[in-house]
Amino acid sequence: MDRGIVVEEVGTLELVELEVEQPAAHEVLVRLEATGVCHSDLHILETGFSHPPPVLLGHEGAGLVEAVGPNVESVAVGDRVVIGWRAPCGECRWCLRGDPRRCRTPASAGPRVTAGGRPLTRAFGAGTFATRTVVHEHAAVAIDDLPPEQSCLLGCAVATGVGSVLETAQVWPGARVGVIGCGAVGLCVIQGARIAGAEEVHAIDLDERKLETAKRFGATHTGEGARLDFVFDVVGRPETVEQSLAMLGHAGTLVYIGLPHPDASVELPLKRAFDRRLRFLVSHGGDHVPALDFPELAGHARAGRLDLGALVTKTIALDDVAHAFEEMRAGDVIRSVVVL
Ligand SMILES: [Zn+2]
Ligand SMILES: [Zn+2]
């Protein structure tokens, strides 16, 4: 019997029985082994976040391919895969011009998972808080040699944090970098900055505990910096954007990662922006493409440049997800990972 964590309506969470159909063309049925608890799942629970209920939560998973539909070439039954949520559609204007990182409408499997006969919206097309799920083949990438409770993190936190540094911003060796918000994604930004060869990495967070953690992950300074080349705003509030702009130096780049409140806006001081030649970039999940980036990120982990294990504060069971959200709100964990 399959089970999963479903948002029946905004604000309510339930562990329910699922029915999982066989995959159709270009789809893959995955038996989940591990799945991380991400802020975006909490965001869906609290706001809906463009996901019509009922929603099967979870979008950062790893597991074994149990079945593949027709025309699936990239993975086979028995492969251990990491599930991502930015599978390029291959059809939009950006994909067609050879820029899948800007894909506007990520590819998704059909509604193959139901609860009591009702089709479920899968969080970001994934739906990994479940014993099994069905995803598009381009969302499942074979990564066989890392423990699933670590490799699952490649699917969102790592792809977003490291991707924002290496792909969105293209941080260069010797750069001075700031990071506002030192949760799992922020810690991955810090690790990405170290991989890119940044000279200074300033960690900024209101929670002293997170600053201590940030130092362990490679931050060279804590607290605000000045004349920085890149500032990554992982929080995404107007006040953190203003704080980011104030820290940037000549030709500095603000990389906006955090999720905005629907009504949020900022005032941009045009004279300062012009004089300093500032740049503003939005990172959508690090602009990652699963098939391109997951193998490379796994390589960084194997080589010891990327510490996945230290991101996992604790492993939990599927029915502990509600409690994991509470701990996340309190800032008590980096990542809780559900092990199935
Ligand atoms: Zn596309
Ligand atoms: Zn996420």
Centre of ligand 2 from the C-alpha of residue 60, in Å: 6
Cβ–Cβ < 8 Å for 228, 176: yes
Q: For residue 154, give the nearest of 299, 256, 52 by alpha carbon.
A: 299
Query: Residues near 70 by Cβ (< 8 Å), separated by ≥ 6?
Result: 24, 25, 26
pLDDT exceeds cutoff 90 at 120:
yes
pLDDT exceeds cutoff 90 at 203:
yes
Query: Residues near 162 by Cβ (< 8 Å), separated by ≥ 6?
Result: 188, 189, 191, 192, 195, 286, 297, 300, 306
Centre of ligand 2 from the C-alpha of residue 20, in Å: 23
Centre of ligand 2 from the C-alpha of residue 69, in Å: 26
Q: For residue 38, give the nearest of 109, 102, 112, 124 by alpha carbon.
A: 124
pLDDT exceeds cutoff 90 at 134:
yes
Centre of ligand 1 from the C-alpha of residue 139, in Å: 13
Q: Which ligand is nearest to the CA of 86?
A: 1
Q: Which ligand is nearest to the CA of 124?
A: 2
Centre of ligand 1 from the C-alpha of residue 101, in Å: 8
How far apart are alpha carbons 168 and 305 in whole angstroms?
19
Class of domain 158-286: alpha beta
Residue extent(s) of CATH 3.40.50.720 domains in the chain: 158-286
Tell me, what's the pLDDT at 46? 93
Tell me, what's the pLDDT at 262? 84
Tell me, what's the pLDDT at 177? 98
Mean per-residue pLDDT for 251-266?
Answer: 93
Query: Residues near 302 by Cβ (< 8 Å), separated by ≥ 6?
Result: 145, 146
Q: Are strands 248-256 and 279-282 parallel, antiparallel or unpaired?
A: parallel
**Hey, what CATH topology would domain 2-146+308-339 get?**
Quinone Oxidoreductase; Chain A, domain 1 (3.90.180)
The model carries a pTM of: 0.96
How far apart are alpha carbons 147 and 292 in whole angstroms?
20
Q: Which ligand is nearest to the CA of 84?
A: 2
Q: What is the pLDDT of residues 145-201, one digit of tens each?
A: 999 999 999 999 999 999 999 999 999 999 999 999 999 999 999 999 999 999 999
Residue extent(s) of CATH 3.90.180.10 domains in the chain: 2-146+308-339
Centre of ligand 1 from the C-alpha of residue 335, in Å: 30
Centre of ligand 1 from the C-alpha of residue 234, in Å: 25
Q: What is the pLDDT of residues 268-327, one digit of tens each?
A: 999 999 999 999 999 999 999 999 999 999 999 999 999 999 999 999 999 999 999 999
Tell me, what's the pLDDT at 118? 96
Centre of ligand 1 from the C-alpha of residue 273, in Å: 32
Centre of ligand 1 from the C-alpha of residue 266, in Å: 30
Centre of ligand 1 from the C-alpha of residue 75, in Å: 21
Centre of ligand 2 from the C-alpha of residue 274, in Å: 34
Centre of ligand 1 from the C-alpha of residue 284, in Å: 14
Tell me, what's the pLDDT at 313? 96
What percent of the chain is predicted at pLDDT more than 90?
Answer: 96
Mean per-residue pLDDT for 1-28?
Answer: 97
Tell me, what's the pLDDT at 71? 97
pLDDT-based confidence at 259, cuts 50/70/90?
A: confident
pLDDT exceeds cutoff 90 at 133:
yes
Centre of ligand 2 from the C-alpha of residue 234, in Å: 12
Please give the mean pLDDT across all residues of the chain: 96
Q: What is the pLDDT of residues 60-104, one digit of tens each?
A: 999 999 999 999 999 999 999 999 999 999 999 999 999 999 999
Q: Which ligand is nearest to the CA of 61?
A: 2
Tell me, what's the pLDDT at 261? 86
Tell me, what's the pLDDT at 122? 97
Q: Which residues lie across from 130 on neighbouring strands?
A: 4
Tokens of 261: 């409140």
Q: Which residues lie across from 81 on neighbouring strands?
A: 63, 142
Q: For residue 115, give the nearest of 278, 22, 247, 2 by alpha carbon.
A: 2
Which chain residues have CB less than 5 Å from ligand 1, an ion? 88-89, 92, 95, 103
How far apart are alpha carbons 175 and 85 in whole angstroms?
30
